Amino acid sequence: MKRTVLALMAVAALAVWGAPAPAYAVPPTATPSPGYDARLQEQRAAQRRHVEPALKPAPKHRGKKAPAH
């Protein structure tokens, strides 16, 4: 019984040790572009300046009361 548990633990340890590490590579298309970043900041600044006025909700209308019959 102890040998089986030790064998399973050894296999589990080897599986964890041999597992590939996560890759943190960035594809070449995801590198930051100074021109794109500048245009993006410009666009966001323009959006902040142009803010739509808040619309007021329409008043609620009450319908006619139905007859009690």
What's the pLDDT tens digit per position in 38-61?
Answer: 888 898 888 777 666 677 777 787
Cα dist. 50→4, 18, 43, 57, 67 in Å? Answer: 70, 55, 11, 22, 51
For residues 30-37, average pLDDT:
77
Percentage of residues of the chain with pLDDT beyond 90? 0
Answer yes or no: pTM beyond 0.85. no
